Homo-oligomer: A and B are copies of this chain.
């Protein structure tokens, strides 16, 4: 328990108190204490209590109040459905109507068609229509993560009118720190931050103080591109428009942080050869299920290595000492391949290698890098084998094989993700274990091929 934070105890205390209020059916006290918490803390409480306690919460809180809690939840997809099923259908529909549209869409993606239709029928028409439209956008696009709760105003309004609108929309808008400005055709023509609005003073025409160079994205843009723009410009929100420049929605910085986390986790898990991270809470069967596909696929790829080696059985039979250095050569080339892979995947993600010219330059650079590292490792290993075993010929053979393997591995480590990117596949799919297994094959082919040619 020593690495627990001090705050935990206080949290625990508040939780116990809230539960005791519920058990005493003391609505007043419960509500007073509950609303002192931040939505994140409310969500933590809601998520951790038992279903009977949650039943009481549905009774104590209005759908609107629970909406705030529900959209702050950080739970597995299945759990959303579980929680919704606990509620009365009309209560659930009312709550969903009050949530930010982007959060509703996230939840709706987990429901089956029947449930979804049921909720949509019970929601007010306008919201239902909005959500239906948002659900059309493909996953991982700007459209899929945007929300329609933004503040907009006509360009001919004054700053005073803008402040009034803000005051009205403040309780429901996802952010009031940017106001998006439209012309008569409902096209996005400008943006003003609340900061600039405050500095501008009252009774100025919005048109005269707005920023006309609005940075915006299209609904079909990839969420990673959106994240990159937010990062570069340090925006708190970014407008999403269609081809007619009509404002469709906005993406806020908190959603972008989730995107950045998601993408980083995705790259990381793929480098390790896992399709999905298993939650620590899941059992060993669930964990094994997530890792076995890769492992078995790589096992079959590894069988290729074995069958390749079988071709050299005579060589291995004749000079048994050769086998000793196989793991060393294949291991080192595998390591250099993984390094090159990570550099290439990273470079593609950060757009350092965005055009063909820079890709070609990267490949040439990796070839040279591989040659430098290969030569150096070859010298080291030849020296070691000579001084340890007194075998100069074997030492040189191991050295040459290692040098060639490292060059091939470094080149493959960068070429494969670049090729994948070229054909439109996520380059991160080429995982570390995959590259390593592939390099096992090439390095053994090189080593035993050279041995058969020069020693026997």
* A residues lining the B interface (CB < 8 Å): 1, 3-4, 36-38, 40, 72, 74, 163, 166-167, 170-171, 176-177, 194-196, 198-199, 212-213, 215, 230-234, 236, 253-254, 256-258, 260-261, 264-265, 267-269, 271-274, 277-281, 283-285, 287-288, 291-292, 294-296, 298-299, 302-303, 305-307, 309-310, 313, 316-317, 320-321, 323-328, 330-332, 334-336, 338-339, 341-343, 346-347, 352-356, 358, 361-362, 365-366, 368-369, 371-373, 376-377, 380-381, 384, 388-389, 432-433, 436-437, 440, 444
Q: Determine if B213 and A195 form an interchain contact, defined as CB atoms under 8 angstroms apart.
A: no
Closest to A298 in B: B335
Q: Determine if A288 and B372 form an interchain contact, defined as CB atoms under 8 angstroms apart.
A: yes
Q: Determine if B272 and A432 form an interchain contact, defined as CB atoms under 8 angstroms apart.
A: yes
Assuming the A-B contacts A320-B316, A355-B4, are A277 and B331 also in contact, with contact meaning beta carbons closer than 8 angstroms in the complex? Answer: no
Partner of A294 from B176, B323, B335, B384 at Cβ < 8 Å: B335
Q: Complex: how many Å from CA A369 to CA B280?
A: 12
Assuming the A-B contacts A40-B233, A213-B36, A264-B260, are A338 and B433 also in contact, with contact meaning beta carbons closer than 8 angstroms in the complex? Answer: yes
Say how far A304's CB is from chain B's closest CB, in angstroms.
9
Q: Complex: how many Å from CA A176 to CA B371?
A: 54
Assuming the A-B contacts A260-B257, A346-B268, are A234 and B40 also in contact, with contact meaning beta carbons closer than 8 angstroms in the complex? Answer: yes
Q: Is the interface of A mostly helix, strand, loop or mixed?
A: helix
| 22 sample A-B contacts, Cβ–Cβ < 8 Å, listed by A number | A171-B199, A194-B194, A234-B254, A253-B253, A257-B260, A272-B339, A274-B339, A277-B343, A279-B352, A280-B353, A280-B365, A284-B365, A284-B369, A284-B372, A288-B369, A294-B335, A295-B339, A298-B335, A303-B381, A303-B384, A306-B328, A432-B432
Q: Determine if B232 and A335 form an interchain contact, defined as CB atoms under 8 angstroms apart.
A: no
Task: Chain B residues near A347: list those with CB within 8 A.
Answer: 280
Task: Chain B residues near A380: list those with CB within 8 A.
Answer: 296, 299
Say how far A266's CB is from chain B's closest CB, in angstroms.
10
Say how far A188's CB is from chain B's closest CB, in angstroms.
16
Closest to A406 in B: B295
Q: Determine if A302 and B284 form an interchain contact, defined as CB atoms under 8 angstroms apart.
A: no
Q: Complex: how many Å from CA A71 to CA B285?
A: 50
Q: Determine if B306 and A325 form an interchain contact, defined as CB atoms under 8 angstroms apart.
A: yes
Task: Chain B residues near A356: list those with CB within 8 A.
Answer: 1
Task: Chain B residues near A334: list those with CB within 8 A.
Answer: 433, 436
Across chains A and B, which 3 residue pairs bring their CB atoms closest together, nearest first?
Answer: A272-B342, A264-B264, A284-B368
Assuming the A-B contacts A303-B384, A331-B436, A436-B331, are A74 and B232 also in contact, with contact meaning beta carbons closer than 8 angstroms in the complex? Answer: yes
Task: Chain B residues near A338: list those with CB within 8 A.
Answer: 272-273, 432-433
Say how far A269's CB is from chain B's closest CB, in angstroms.
6
Q: Complex: how many Å from CA A327 to CA B432?
A: 16
Q: Complex: how many Å from CA A271 to CA B361?
A: 25
Q: Determine if B342 and A274 form an interchain contact, defined as CB atoms under 8 angstroms apart.
A: yes
Task: Chain B residues near A328: list those with CB within 8 A.
Answer: 299, 302-303, 305-306
Q: Determine if A302 and B365 form an interchain contact, defined as CB atoms under 8 angstroms apart.
A: no
Q: Determine if B272 and A341 form an interchain contact, defined as CB atoms under 8 angstroms apart.
A: yes
Say how far A125's CB is from chain B's closest CB, in angstroms.
28
Say how far A64's CB is from chain B's closest CB, in angstroms.
16
Task: Chain B residues near A167: list those with CB within 8 A.
Answer: 198-199
Q: Complex: how many Å from CA A223 to CA B53?
A: 36
